[in-house]
Amino acid sequence: MIGLFSALYMQRSGLKVVICEKGRIAGEQSSRNWGWIRQHGRDFAELPIMMEATRLWEQVDQETNGRIGFKREGLCYIASSEKKLAKRAKWLEIAKECQLDTRLLSKAELDKLIDKSARGKGSHDWVGQLIRQ
C-alpha cells in the first residue's frame, strides 16, 4: 500500500511513475493486516498524522466508489479494573485536545456492546472506553 500510495501522490504532483512489483499488487503485508486505522491511544505527536491518514482513506474510498471497503466502526478498549481504566482514561485529554469524540462508556453501555456469551472463561467484569472514528 505504501508504494502504491507514494506512486499515486507522486503522479498527482506531476511526476511520471512506474511501479515494479515482484508479485501481486498489495499482496504482501498489505493483504494480511487487520485493517485497523487506529487513532486511539496514539502519542500526541503522532495523532495528527493518523487523523490525516484516516481522512485520506475516506477520500480514496469515495474516489473509488467504495471499492476499498473503508468503514468507520469505532474502536473499544476495555479495562479489567478501575485502576487500569483510570490509566487508559488519561488519553482522553489528548483526544479532547485533538477534538476526537472519544468517551468513557458506562458499564451498562459496554454490556450492550459485548455479547456476554462471547466472553471466555475467567474473563473480567469489563469497564471500558470507546472511540468513534
Binding site for ligand FAD (CB under 6 A): 1-3, 20-23, 27-30, 32-36
DSSP string, 32-97: HS------TT--TTTHHHHHHHHHHHHHHHHHTTTTT------EEEEESSHHHHHHHHTHHHHHHH
Closer residue to ligand FAD in complex, CB, 55/112:
55
**CB contact at 8 A, 37 and 54:** yes
Closer residue to ligand FAD in complex, CB, 23/69:
23
Closer residue to ligand FAD in complex, CB, 127/130:
130
**Shortest reach from residue 49's CB to ligand FAD, in Å:** 12
| Angle of CA points 36, 98, 48, to nearest 5° | 55
Closer residue to ligand FAD in complex, CB, 28/43:
28
**Shortest reach from residue 108's CB to ligand FAD, in Å:** 29
**Shortest reach from residue 31's CB to ligand FAD, in Å:** 7
Cβ–Cβ contacts within 10 Å for residue 95, how many? 20
**Shortest reach from residue 21's CB to ligand FAD, in Å:** 5
